Amino acid sequence: MRIWDLHCHLPGPRMTGRTLTEQMEQMLMIAERVGIEKIGLFLRTGKQDGLGSDREIRDALRRFEGRVFGFVWCLLYETQKSIDLVKRWVGDGPMIGMKLGGDSGICNRSEYDPVFRQAIDLEAVIYVHTWIKLGGDPPRPGGGNLPTEPRPEHLVELAARYPDYPFICGHAGGDWELGIPAIRSSSNLLLEVSGGYPTAGLVEAGARELGARRVIFGSDVTGRSFASQLGKVHGAAIPQSDKELIFRENFRRLLEPILRRKGIAA
């Protein structure tokens, strides 16, 4: 089975490589052990020197072009800066997508639309971290979220404004029993299964409720293990053809427009 992993992070705390290129090499070697061919890499830019500097990012992505796909990490409340980052790293640089994390801001706010319009103009793959965290008193789902951390329903609102463009709902909303139905009726949202523990039933529920074409594999290494996340799909009671969609085809389909635009073979 061919596997592409949408969601990896570097630099990593236990990596021994001295440069980002060395760490990428190390990560790819470990990924290969469990059958992963290509990876998406979420990268924070702006560092002038040392490990993970902008120069290192360019060098490493050039070295592994077609095998490692860079996503630029944006903070929506730094709206103009985010637009510039997308232009610089996706439009004019080596990256193919935009990553929004738990620290990136609530994505449905209309003042952030120019960032999304820029990313969509460039045909960038758009990944949005979502989570529904239990918290508060009394405890309620979402009550434990960070102020900047979107829930799936925020992404649903955003996606409704761009109905013809795909968005990735990261981490299956964290609490996938709530996340999956939250995005069910938004046909341009894909469910990414990374980041949580490998609780059995997640992938089956995603495939059942959304269809396997809307479920996409990511691991969230180095914080998570490739293995624990791969097991979610390998171990799911779904047809082989669905696993192929989830492991590779859906990500490949999202990448096609921007790779074609950039002339990158994958």
Partner 1 sequence: MSQLSRRTFLGSSLLTTAGIGAFAAAGESGVQSSAAPATGPIIDAHVYLSHWPFRRIPCDETDELVRRLRASGVVEAWAGSFDGVFHRDVAAVNARLAEQCRASGGFFVPFGTVNPALPDWEEDLRRCHEEFGMPGVRLHPNYHQYSLDLPDFARLLRVAAERGMIVQLAAWMEDERHQHPLMPVAEVQLAPLAEIVDHVPGLRLVLLNAVRTPVTQALEPLVKCERIYFDLAKLEGMDCIASLLDLVPDERVLFGSYAPMFYFESTLLKLAESAVAGRPAELILRENARGLLRTAGREVPS
Where does this chain bind partner 1 (CB under 8 A)?
1, 12, 14, 27, 29-30, 32-35, 131-135, 138-141, 144, 174-177, 196-201, 204, 221-232, 234-241, 243
CB of 80 to partner 1, least distance (A): 33
Nearer to partner 1, 89 or 176 (CB): 176
Among the listed residues 199, 197, 198, 179, the one whose alpha carbon sits nearest the alpha carbon of residue 189: 179
Nearer to partner 1, 243 or 248 (CB): 243
* Cα within 13 Å of Cα(224), Cβ side: 20
| Alpha-carbon gap, residue 42 to 1, rounded angstroms | 24
End-to-end alpha carbon distance in the chain: 17
| DSSP-derived pairing of the beta strands 97-100 and 167-170 | unpaired
**Could you give the angle at the alpha carbon of 56 between the alpha carbons of 51 and 61, nearest 5°?**
130
CB of 236 to partner 1, least distance (A): 7
CB of 143 to partner 1, least distance (A): 8
CB of 12 to partner 1, least distance (A): 7
Nearer to partner 1, 153 or 175 (CB): 175
Place of tokens 């040392």: 50
